Amino acid sequence: MSRPLSQDEVEHDAHRTRQWLAGGARCDGVSRQELLELGVAMAAVTAAAEEREPVAVTRAPVGVDPGAGAVAAPIAKPLPPQLFRRLESNAEMRWEAMAGQGHVVPNDRFFVRNHTVTPRLDAETWQLRLFGTGLRGTPTRRDPVEFSLSDLRRLPAEEGSALVECAGNGRRFFIEQQGAASPGVAWGLGGVGVARWRGVRLGTVLRLAGLTDAAVDVMPEGLDPEYVTGGVNLGRVRRPLPVGKALDDVLLAYEMNGEPLPADHGFPVRVVVPGWIGISSIKWVGAVEVSATPLFSPWNTQLYRMFGPGHPGGGGELAAQSVKSAFELAWDARIPAGTEVLLRGRSWSGNGPIARVEVSTGDEDWRPAELVAADRGGAWQRWTTVWRPPAPGRWTLRARATDVTGAGQPDTAAHNDFGYLFDGVVRHPVTVA
Ligand SMILES: Nc1nc2c(c(=O)[nH]1)N[C@H]1C(S)=C(S)[C@@H](COP(=O)(O)O)O[C@H]1N2
Ligand SMILES: [Mo]
């Protein structure tokens, strides 16, 4: 699949990395040296810091009054244990919660990745605030071009399915299957979801705000609390996009699966960047910088880079989200003996649609799974296969997919220090009884 370079995640990231390492770039508030030093320390401490970091140390989100002495829960929606596994301020979807579901993940079970806490924002007073040297008249952060939620709702709406996946999804298997620990949230395979997002194109709003030909980068910023890790305040969660992508298929979404955006998924408005890693899809968007010079943030310099043996010293760029496959089954699921069962699962890839999926149940060779026709070319691909377990006992199920670019899933994923982009074949244990 060829995309114009300015929209290609990997190409853009590689280009900005070269600029960053050449030292000319600015990264609002945090110097390059500070970030480089932080990066060295981070590889070692991120996990520990994230685990230890109490939510209470973060500043209260704007417009939030958690009440006298109360510490707001990091996630607003209920997290019933049959739908979620909690991981600090995050919640991973349990794959058995998708058994028999349609193409999208219902909002009640969509995974949540919060650097800090879900802010409770007021849609009446919320404003999108655009500023920067890439807009006519160079509006400043203090005197930005503003749009209210009703302004956005009056603009032409678009709706489409898109997959959001955390770059660390599957990280747990680096240690469990390969013995290599990596810091960060210990996601199984449930840090991913597909939803129908409705909103206005970011491009429409950028043009209304006075986008000029000089603009190169756009950086949406979240209204959740500033992120403090390893003792360093990295500021508000933000990550730049090239103008080419911003003008293409990026949405400012105010609905998810036909409902107003839920609090945990960015109410009242979030960015949705189809095909790019989850961190690009900034939730609770407030300010948006539009710049005539390249923009950088810790989320595209220190975090979300490939570090470790085989990667450049300053960190290599992330490739597109890797190919993954999951069974819609509990870990250690019980499967009845002596009867045929329909095994169901889903596969997805950041490179584009899935071309084929194979399943191994341990008792015979890899065999092709049936692809659900309605999902062909979609954000992810449901599949099924029939299995008659030959005998009671412990069995290991495996699924592996190949996408339209020919990328597949190796038995062992390539290591990187932060445990991003796991693409190995996951060994899923079940008990036949
Ligand atoms: N403002 C803000 N946006 C954010 C985040 C965050 O913590 N704050 N997390 C990012 C990450 S790392 C991911 S993977 C996705 C997760 O989206 P979800 O919580 O709606 O599933 O949101 C992204 N957008
Ligand atoms: Mo993420």
3-state secondary structure the chain: CCCCHHHCHHHHHHHHHHHHHCCCCCCCCCCHHHHHHHHHHHHHHHHHHHHHCCHHHCCCCCCCCCCCCCCCCCCCCCCCCCCEEEECCEEEECHHHHCCCCCCCCHHHCCECCCCCCCCCCCCCCEEEEECCCECCCCECCECEEEEHHHHHHCCCEEEEEEEECCCCCCHHHHHHHCCCCCCCCCCCCCEEEEEEEEEEHHHHHHHCCECCCCCEEEEEECCCCCEECCEECCCCECCEEHHHHCCCCEEEEEECCEECCHHHCCCCEEECCCCCHHHCCCCEEEEEEECCCCCCHHHHCCCCECCCCCCCCCECCCCCCCEEEECCCCCEEECCCCCEEEEEEEECCCCCEEEEEEECCCCCCEECEECHHHCCCCCEEEEEEECCCCCEEEEEEEEEEECCCCCCCCCCCCCCCCCCCCCCCCEEEEEC
Print the domain residue range for 124: 9-300
Q: Is residue 125 part of a domain?
A: yes
Q: Which of 257, 285, 300 is the last residue of a domain?
A: 300
Instruction: Decide: 286 in ligand 1 pocket, CB within 6 A.
Output: no
Task: State how many domains the chain has.
Answer: 2
Q: Is residue 360 part of a domain?
A: yes
Instruction: Decide: 236 in ligand 1 pocket, CB within 6 A.
Output: no
Nearest-CA residue for ligand 1 atom 19 is 112
In this prediction the pTM is 0.87
Q: How far apart are CA 85 and CA 91, in angstroms?
A: 6
How many A from CA of 366 to the centre of ligand 1?
A: 36
How many A from CA of 3 to the centre of ligand 1?
A: 25
Q: Could you tell me if 67 and 196 lie in one domain?
A: yes
With the most atoms of ligand 1 within 8 angstroms of its CB, the residue from 279, 300, 302 to mutate is: 279
With the most atoms of ligand 1 within 8 angstroms of its CB, the residue from 185, 237, 252, 270 to mutate is: 237
Backbone angles phi, psi at 397, to 5 degrees: -95, 140
Which ligand 1 atom minimizes the distance to the CA of 271? 24
Q: Could you tell me if 207 and 266 lie in one domain?
A: yes
For residue 23, the model assigns a pLDDT of 55
Q: Could you tell me if 270 and 398 lie in one domain?
A: no
Q: Could you tell me if 111 and 249 lie in one domain?
A: yes
Instruction: Decide: 203 in ligand 1 pocket, CB within 6 A.
Output: no
Q: Could you tell me if 330 and 295 lie in one domain?
A: no
Q: Which of 241, 265, 300 is the last residue of a domain?
A: 300
Q: Could you tell me if 368 and 410 lie in one domain?
A: yes
Q: Could you tell me if 269 and 335 lie in one domain?
A: no
Q: Could you tell me if 190 and 337 lie in one domain?
A: no
Considering only CA atoms, which of 349, 296, 292, 308 is closest in space to residue 326? 349
Q: Which of 285, 300, 315 is the last residue of a domain?
A: 300
Q: Is residue 312 part of a domain?
A: no
Which ligand 1 atom minimizes the distance to the CA of 113? 19
Q: Is residue 295 part of a domain?
A: yes
Q: What is the CATH number of the domain that holds 399?
A: 2.60.40.650
Q: Could you tell me if 74 and 134 lie in one domain?
A: yes
Q: Could you tell me if 247 and 344 lie in one domain?
A: no
Which ligand 1 atom minimizes the distance to the CA of 283? 3
Strand 285-291 to strand 127-131: parallel, antiparallel, or no bridges (unpaired)? Answer: parallel
Instruction: Decide: 240 in ligand 1 pocket, CB within 6 A.
Output: no
Q: What is the CATH number of the domain that holds 246?
A: 3.90.420.10
Q: Could you tell me if 338 and 262 lie in one domain?
A: no
Q: Could you tell me if 249 and 397 lie in one domain?
A: no
Q: Is residue 317 part of a domain?
A: no
Q: Is residue 337 part of a domain?
A: yes
Q: Is residue 309 part of a domain?
A: no
Q: Is residue 315 part of a domain?
A: no
Instruction: Decide: 303 in ligand 1 pocket, CB within 6 A.
Output: no
Instruction: Decide: 222 in ligand 1 pocket, CB within 6 A.
Output: yes
pLDDT by residue, tens only, the chain of 433 residues: 333 445 677 777 777 777 766 654 544 444 555 544 444 444 433 333 333 333 332 333 433 444 444 456 999 999 999 999 999 999 999 999 999 899 999 999 999 999 999 999 999 999 999 999 999 999 999 999 999 999 999 999 999 999 999 999 999 999 999 999 888 999 999 999 999 999 999 999 999 999 999 999 999 999 999 999 989 999 999 999 999 999 999 999 999 999 999 999 999 999 999 999 999 999 999 999 999 999 999 888 888 888 888 888 878 877 788 999 999 999 999 999 999 999 999 999 999 999 999 999 987 789 999 999 999 999 999 999 999 999 999 999 999 999 999 999 999 999 999 999 999 999 999 999 9
How many A from CA of 321 to the centre of ligand 2?
A: 11
Backbone angles phi, psi at 10, to 5 degrees: -70, -45
For residue 4, the model assigns a pLDDT of 42
Instruction: Decide: 283 in ligand 1 pocket, CB within 6 A.
Output: yes
